[in-house]
Chain A
Amino acid sequence: IAGITQAPTSQILAAGRRMTLRCTQDMRHNAMYWYRQDLGLGLRLIHYSNTAGTTGKGEVPDGYSVSRANTDDFPLTLASAVPSQTSVYFCASSGLAGGEQFFGPGTRLTVL
């Protein structure tokens, strides 16, 4: 692995289903982030983590949960997907809060 990977690349999901988006980084960054990107709105922070074992809520956390069991992995879970969660989801990491963020390739999620 070099950098950040995300899986799946894309997914079509029925409303009401549970879905976990995976994110793994190998840069040993303490800080990790989940964003969603919607047309005309830019990236909006869903949740973040400043170190393993701690997480925080971003601008649009409702309907999403995260965990940070170790430094490398930061999965995002939609407990019961709704159509408004159709979006492109980016995971990112940084060595320091407020520093350069490195992004994964994104997951395109469609909820029908």
Chain B
Amino acid sequence: RKEVEQDPGPFNVPEGATVAFNCTYSNSASQSFFWYRQDCRKEPKLLMSVYSSGNEDGRFTAQLNRASQYISLLIRDSKLSDSATYLCVVHGGGFKTIFGAGTRLFVKA
């Protein structure tokens, strides 16, 4: 079993749709969690950190469920510019940061 697993997609959604991604992790001692965005042939960039209480940034909401060991990302009112690959990142302490393989999202007009 991979330490961090994501549905690779692709998710194809129309503009304005709401879409949600989940990511599961295997290490129950994991300490911090992030969602990164990666555009085609570009470097990953931090989208948002994921806090135990959940957090929201505009159209984006991230949730952490420690009991079930997953994090989620919800995107509301999808824009064409949201088309990208979304990477789930789990930090297990020290320098043990594990990146998921990513979920591809295509938003179409």
Contact = CB atoms under 8 A, between A and B. Distances in A.
A105 B4 CA distance: 24
Given A98-B31, A104-B43, A105-B42, A58 B99 contact: no
12 contacts: A31-B95, A40-B8, A42-B101, A44-B99, A56-B95, A90-B43, A97-B95, A98-B31, A101-B44, A105-B42, A105-B43, A106-B41
Interface in A54-112: 56, 58, 90, 97-101, 103-106
Contact-residue bracket for chain A? 20 to 34
B49 A100 contact: yes
Nearest to A103: B43
A103 B44 contact: yes
A106 B97 contact: no
A92 to B, nearest CB: 8
Contact of B101 (A33, A41, A97): A41
Contacts of B31: 98
Tell me the interface secondary structure of chain B in the complex.
loop
Interface string B9-29: 000000000000000000000
A42 B8 contact: no
Nearest to B101: A42
A45 B31 CA distance: 18
Contacts of B87: 42-43
Contacts of A100: 34, 46, 49
- Among A58, A90, A97, max chain B CB count under 10 A is at A97
B95 A42 contact: no
A106 B49 CA distance: 23
Contact of A101 (B46, B93, B101): B46
A49 to B, nearest CB: 9
